[in-house]
């Protein structure tokens, strides 16, 4: 168990703070993301101290399922930590500029400590408190079903459904002193009185005598009648027999050193204009994700939402799997399949607000009672005017139980590996970030505008998540850049593992829309990518779903526009627009990944430059699914140039697999030259050279580096395999020369003690690795093969050009990486047991069959050039080995793990 109470100092250096932006979501429309000009840095704050003002939380007696409990949220509550502990908060050692706000940190940490102590005293601890789903909602007990619901303002309550003909007169519920209604429904003739998969609702009478029907708050499944237009959702009692319950077969994969995240929406993942299913996504899309070397999948729109066009952000049923794509068992199949492929699965969790819907949402339990008797605040504080949604009262005991239990439910029942918390900015501040331009002034973060109730909830949430699953990955979507958001709770932080670097995509949109290529500033680009707080990790991304919602465009579409309809055939020469577009699309994504954070995120389809925008079915487009899908045919069609962008995306991820540069703390920008339009930097053990100049190719361009020795190409965006011109030699050794006086950085070249010279073509990025003296030439050449991963089986084939490259440059590198395609896919995890009955080794056979087909194809092509002097001995040995391994897996499935 992780101790989230200890206060341990951590000595570290000061930092910069990451910029972020925000997207406004409305039930009526989805607004495009608005760039916010931020200059968030490590600057001297204006003004000192923190005033609590006149707003105080109420010392309120609230409900508990079994006990009464006073939630003490005022500043006079007793402390379980000494004043000495609070004076020595670790975050002040990390960022000394936060010391003027010590009172604020002491106050919120005190609130957190007290709240956690009360939970331990009255509920047995945070972990037991977070198992509310074992008490609330429907739960099987010996001989019957117990149903409990918190509705303190209700005057009478019943349970109704198919099982009693929707007549609750014989199923009246009883209310305890804490506002919890309950009923025990005994079995009938040994069978459950409420059949599995039958509809149920909670009926109650509020103060004015009106009876209303609501979906139970803790319902685990909810469906809608597809034959009725605008039909309300019904709660569904989900308790399948053991024979129908999905049993997980694979363990969670190890937590990666750095997350390479594929953000996906299951519903819109089909090629066809329809809603895709969990099982189709698992069988058809997950292999694509793994083949492109991602290690993490982030699923959107999992929690039930009655309005599809909300993109899943207007949640109506927090414990229910979105029924559009299948059942809870189907989602479990998806997650287990992902784990079998070595992919972790994160859930996009929405605890910042709830749908405003009444008949099918949590909002339906708010019938005019006070905030203390409701899930939400009352009045303006309980309503988000831009999102048209309700806002939680995070100081309420039962709200804490509900939300914390919700997190545990998804972790334990469905085996999610972590979360991406949506809308964190709205939670952190009373103003919710509306019409606020955050400048980096620390007063913007630590004042009366801060919602300490929400901060305490997030601290509890992160403590709980990491206590249940120490290797969990938890990411915050925060527009403001609040200091400490990504610091451990034990150091006075809020406890997230990563924050999204939300300013980066806005910077690219600004450049692509408002600046010609000659006006691009290398200094501004490198600053935007590196401007983040020290010790607080970021997940960078060049674009996500936000950049392509209703009318806006993907990066590729901004670059190429209508030419994406007519100019993407590789059977003819590329137009200048297409050539520029593909080159910059690769560069923008690669420099964002390499320099922008400690993790990387890509939204489904952007890896191959998906055109157009995302538009969910709605009244305004005639309820069309035409733009609510992914056109996989574009990347699967061999003569279209989309395959080049997809191949480069795969190679970027494989580069990190080999060199782990994302996880490295070494990041040095040695040159950002606005005249040359070149950025040179070191990340981990690699040297990166990005030439953004539209025309200039630099021969013998001097590049600074740390260690002396011999350098070679690790990845080259201009390679033929990626739709380039093949101008950079991959078999060239670059030897370093010493620079300046040893130990005197100011005498060095760009503050680097060594340098080497390279060819840097226009609009090209190249990564170089240092060759260790002990490495064999073949080993060195195999590192070059990152670019040849474009052969990843059936997902994206090697471009035709690779077979006809100049004979002197082939050297079998592409062949080696083609044969490694099965390793790229890594299907399934060798350490996991194979599915005994239903898998039939399909997961294993498909990639191996595809790899064998690719081997046959390439070996045939290479025979035709054998007279050019290429040695096929190595190829033949690899082909034989691959065939043997394939037959072993096919003939002896029980030995596949060996």
CA gap 276, 872 in Å, rounded: 44
> What is each CA distance from 283 to 286, 724, 780, in whole angstroms?
6, 32, 36
Q: How far is CA 795 from the centre of its chain?
A: 22
Contact, 672 vs 688, CB < 8 A? no
Every domain range in the chain assigned CATH 3.30.750.90 = 259-346
> Beta partners for 265?
300
The whole-angstrom separation of Cα 606 and Cα 604 is: 6
What is the predicted pLDDT for the residue at 546?
Answer: 78
Query: Is 133 a residue whose pLDDT tops 60?
Result: yes
Residue 671's pLDDT is: 97
* Total Cβ atoms within 10 A of residue 462: 25
* For residue 616, pLDDT beyond 70: yes
pLDDT at 508: 96
In this structure, which CATH number among 3.40.50.720, 3.30.750.90, 2.60.120.590, 3.50.30.10 belongs to the domain 259-346? 3.30.750.90
Confirm if 499 and 34 have CB atoms less than 8 A apart: no
407: confidence class by pLDDT, cuts 50, 70, 90: very high
Average pLDDT over residues 640-659: 98
In the predicted model, is pLDDT for residue 611 greater than 60?
A: yes
Across 380-385, average pLDDT:
94
Q: What percent of the chain has pLDDT over 70?
A: 76
Task: From 566, 474, 609, 587, select the one nearest 522 (Cα to Cα).
Answer: 587
Residue 477 among the catalytic residues: yes
Among the ranges given (621-625, 636-640, 793-797), the one the predictor scored with the smallest mean pLDDT: 793-797
Q: Counting beta carbons within 10 angstroms of the beta carbon of residue 396, is it exposed (0 to 12), middle (13 to 18) or buried (19 or more)?
A: buried
pLDDT digits (tens, 9 = 90+) for 415-437: 999 999 999 999 999 999 999 99
Minimum mean pLDDT among 44-48, 251-255, 355-359, 488-492: which range?
Answer: 44-48
Instruction: Specify whether the CB–CB gap between 791 and 821 falls below 8 A.
Output: yes
Q: Does residue 571 or residue 70 have the better pLDDT? A: 571
**Cβ partners under 8 Å of residue 827, min gap 6:** 287, 290, 340, 341, 843, 844, 846, 847
Alpha-helix runs per DSSP H in 380-494: 397-413, 424-428, 452-468
Task: Please give the structure tokens belonging to residue 191.
Answer: 């069978």
Q: What ranges in 74-123 are assigned the alpha helix state H? A: 83-87, 91-94, 102-123
Please tell me the predicted confidence (pLDDT) of residue 585: 98
CA distance 81 to 112: 11
pLDDT over 50 (residue 575): yes
> Picking from 70-74, 178-182, 770-774, which range would have the lowest pLDDT averaged per residue?
70-74
At the fourth CATH level, the homologous superfamily of domain 501-769 is Glycosidases (3.20.20.80)
Average pLDDT of span 345-366: 94
The larger pLDDT score, comparing residue 833 to residue 332, is at 332
pLDDT of 299 strictly over 80 = yes
| pLDDT band of 86, cuts 50, 70, 90 | low
What confidence tier does 208 reach under pLDDT thresholds 50, 70, 90? confident
- Sign for the CA dihedral angle at 265, 266, 271, 276 comes to negative
Q: Is the CB of residue 572 less than 8 Å from the CB of residue 608?
A: no
Spell out the long-range contacts of 626-632 with Cβ–Cβ below 8 A and sequence spacing 24 or more: 626/273, 628/267, 628/268, 628/273, 629/268, 629/269, 629/270, 629/271, 629/272, 629/273, 629/274, 630/268, 630/269, 630/270, 630/271, 630/604, 630/605, 631/271, 631/605, 632/271, 632/288
Q: Where in the chain is the domain with CATH 2.60.40.10?
A: 134-235
Range of lowest pLDDT (333-337, 402-406, 430-434, 780-784): 780-784
pLDDT at 84: 59
The three-point CA angle 651-654-658 to 5° equals 135
For residue 487, pLDDT over 60 is answered with: yes
> How many degrees, rounded to 5, is the angle at CA 471 between CA 130 and CA 792?
125
Q: Is the peptide bond before 478 cis (omega within 30 degrees of 0)?
A: no
- 723-742 tens-digit pLDDT: 999 999 999 999 999 998 88
Among the listed residues 123, 422, 478, 546, the single catalytic one is 422
Q: Is the pLDDT of residue 625 over 90?
A: yes
The residue ranking higher by pLDDT, 93 or 874, is 93
- Clarify whether 800 is annotated catalytic: no
pLDDT: which is higher, 795 or 683: 683
Q: Give the residue with greater pLDDT, 22 vs 437.
A: 437
What is the pLDDT, as a whole number, of residue 550? 65
Q: How confident is the model at residue 21 (pLDDT cuts 50, 70, 90)?
A: very low
What is the maximum alpha-carbon separation in the chain? 92
Q: Rounded to whole angstroms, how far apart are CA atoms 850 and 288?
A: 13
Residues 757-806 have pLDDT tens digits of 999 999 999 999 999 876 645 444 445 444 444 444 444 333 333 333 33
Give bridge partners of residue 764 from the DSSP assignment: 691
Give ranges for CATH 3.20.20.80 in the chain.
Answer: 501-769
Average pLDDT of 601-623?
93
In the predicted model, is pLDDT for residue 642 greater than 90? yes
Give me the pLDDT at residue 83, please. 60
Within 10 Å of residue 681's Cβ, how many Cβ atoms? Answer: 23
Model pLDDT, residue 775:
61
Kindly write down the DSSP assignment for every residue of 758-806, as one continuous string: EEE-TTEEEEEEEEPTTS-HHHHHHHHGGGGGGG-TTTSPPPGGGGGS-
Q: For all residues of the chain together, what is the average pLDDT? A: 82
Structure confidence at residue 88 as a pLDDT band (50, 70, 90): confident
**What b-and-e string marks burial along 138-177, b requiring 16 or more CB atoms within 10 Å of the CB?**
beeeeeebebbbbbbbbeebbbbbebbeeebeebebebee
Residue 600 region by backbone torsions, left for phi larger than 0, else alpha for psi between -120 and 50, else beta: beta
Query: Quick one: average pLDDT of 4-11?
Result: 39
95, 123, 366, 477: the active-site residue: 477
Instruction: Say which DSSP state 285 is in.
Output: I
pLDDT tens per residue across span 506-516: 999 999 999 99
Q: Percent of the chain, pLDDT > 90?
A: 70
Sequence-ordered alpha helix ranges (H) in 417-492: 424-428, 452-468
CATH topology for 134-235 is: Immunoglobulin-like (2.60.40)
Reported confidence tier of residue 744, pLDDT bands at 50, 70, 90: confident
Q: pLDDT of 507-564, one tens digit each?
A: 999 999 999 999 999 999 999 999 999 899 999 999 988 777 766 889 999 999 999 9
pLDDT at 469 over 80: yes
**Beta-strand pair 473-476/498-500:** parallel
Q: Which of these, 629, 462, 606, lies nearest to 546 by C-alpha position?
A: 606
């Amino acid at each position: 168990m992780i101790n989230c109470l200890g206060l341990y100092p951590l000595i570290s250096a000061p930092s910069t703070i990451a910029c972020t932006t925000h997207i406004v979501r409305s039930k009526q429309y989805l607004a495009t993301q608005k760039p916010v000009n931020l200059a968030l840095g490590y600057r001297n704050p204006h003004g000192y101290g923190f005033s609590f003002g006149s707003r105080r939380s109420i010392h309120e007696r609230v409900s508990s399922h079994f006990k009464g409990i006073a939630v003490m949220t005022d500043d006079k509550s007793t402390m379980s930590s000494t004043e000495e502990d609070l004076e020595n908060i670790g975050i002040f050692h990390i960022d000394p500029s936060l010391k003027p706000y010590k009172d604020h940190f002491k106050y919120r940490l005190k609130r957190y400590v007290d709240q956690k102590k009360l939970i331990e005293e009255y509920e047995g601890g945070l972990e037991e408190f977070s198992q509310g789903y074992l008490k609330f909602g429907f739960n099987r007990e010996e001989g019957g079903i117990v149903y409990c619901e918190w509705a303190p303002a209700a005057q009478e309550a019943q349970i109704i459904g198919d099982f009693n003909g929707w007549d609750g007169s014989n199923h009246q519920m009883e209310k305890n002193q804490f506002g919890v209604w309950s009923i025990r429904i005994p079995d009938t003739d040994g069978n459950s009185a409420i059949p599995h998969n039958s509809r149920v609702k909670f009926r109650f009478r509020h103060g004015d005598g009106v009876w209303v029907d609501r979906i139970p708050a803790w319902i685990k499944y909810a469906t809608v009648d597809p034959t009725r237009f605008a039909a309300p959702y019904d709660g569904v009692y989900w308790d399948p027999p053991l024979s129908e319950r999905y049993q997980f077969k694979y363990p969670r994969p190890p937590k990666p050193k750095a997350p390479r995240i594929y953000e996906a929406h299951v519903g819109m993942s089909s090629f066809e204009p329809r809603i895709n299913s969990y099982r189709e996504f698992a069988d058809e899309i997950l292999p694509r994700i793994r083949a492109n070397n991602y290690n993490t999948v982030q699923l959107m729109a999992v929690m039930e939402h009655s309005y599809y066009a909300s993109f899943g952000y207007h949640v109506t049923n927090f414990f229910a799997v979105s029924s559009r794509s299948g059942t809870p068992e189907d989602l479990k199949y998806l997650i287990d399949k992902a784990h079998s492929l070595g992919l972790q699965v994160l859930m996009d969790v929405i605890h910042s607000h709830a749908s405003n819907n009444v008949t099918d949402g949590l909002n339906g339990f708010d019938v005019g009672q006070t905030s203390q008797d409701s899930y939400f605040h009352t009045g303006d504080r309980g309503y988000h005017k831009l999102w048209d949604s309700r806002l939680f009262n995070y100081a309420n005991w039962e709200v804490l139980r509900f939300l914390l239990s919700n997190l545990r439910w998804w972790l334990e029942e469905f085996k999610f590996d972590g979360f991406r918390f949506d809308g964190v900015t709205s939670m952190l501040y009373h103003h919710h970030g509306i019409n606020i331009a955050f400048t980096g002034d620390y007063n913007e973060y630590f004042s009366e505008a801060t919602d300490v109730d929400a901060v305490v909830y997030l601290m509890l949430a992160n403590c709980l998540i990491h206590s249940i699953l120490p290797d969990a990955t938890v990411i915050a979507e925060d527009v403001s850049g609040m200091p400490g958001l990504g610091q451990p709770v034990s150091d006075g932080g809020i406890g997230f593992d990563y924050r999204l670097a939300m300013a980066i995509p806005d910077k690219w949109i600004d450049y692509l829309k408002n600046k010609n290529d000659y006006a691009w500033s290398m200094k501004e680009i490198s600053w935007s990518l590196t401007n983040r707080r020290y010790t607080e990790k970021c997940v960078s991304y060049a674009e996500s779903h936000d950049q392509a919602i209703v009318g806006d465009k993907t990066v590729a579409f901004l670059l190429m526009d209508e030419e994406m309809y007519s100019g993407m055939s590789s059977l003819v020469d590329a137009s200048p627009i297409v050539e520029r577009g593909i080159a910059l699309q690769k560069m923008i994504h690669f420099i964002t990944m390499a320099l922008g954070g400690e993790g990387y995120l890509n939204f489904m389809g952007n890896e191959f430059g998906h055109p157009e925008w995302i538009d969910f079915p709605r009244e305004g487009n005639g309820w069309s699914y035409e733009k609510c899908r992914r056109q996989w045919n574009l990347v699967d069609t061999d003569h279209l140039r989309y395959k080049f962008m997809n191949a480069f995306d795969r190679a970027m991820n494989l580069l990190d697999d080999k060199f782990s540069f994302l996880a490295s703390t070494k990041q040095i920008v040695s040159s950002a030259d606005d005249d040359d339009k070149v950025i040179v930097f070191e990340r981990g053990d690699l040297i990166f050279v990005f030439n953004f100049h539209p025309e200039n190719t630099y021969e013998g361009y001097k590049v600074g580096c740390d260690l002396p020795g011999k350098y070679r190409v690790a990845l080259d965006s201009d390679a033929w395999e990626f739709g380039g011109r093949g101008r950079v030699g991959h078999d060239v050794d670059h030897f370093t020369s010493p620079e300046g006086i040893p130990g005197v950085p100011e005498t060095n070249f760009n503050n680097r003690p060594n340098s080497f010279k390279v060819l840097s073509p226009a609009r090209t990025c190249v990564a170089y690795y240092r060759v260790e003296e002990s490495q064999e030439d073949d080993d060195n050449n195999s590192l070059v093969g990152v670019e040849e991963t474009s052969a990843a089986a059936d997902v994206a084939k090697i471009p035709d050009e690779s077979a006809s490259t100049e004979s002197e440059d082939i050297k079998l590198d592409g062949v080696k990486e083609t044969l490694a395609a099965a390793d790229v896919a890594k299907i399934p995890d060798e350490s996991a047991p194979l599915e005994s009955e239903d898998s039939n080794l399909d997961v294993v056979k498909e990639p191996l069959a595809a790899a064998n087909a690719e081997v046959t194809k390439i070996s045939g092509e290479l025979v035709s050039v054998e007279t050019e002097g290429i040695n096929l001995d190595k190829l033949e040995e690899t082909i034989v080995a691959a065939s043997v391994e394939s037959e072993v897996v096919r003939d002896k499935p029980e030995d596949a793990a060996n």
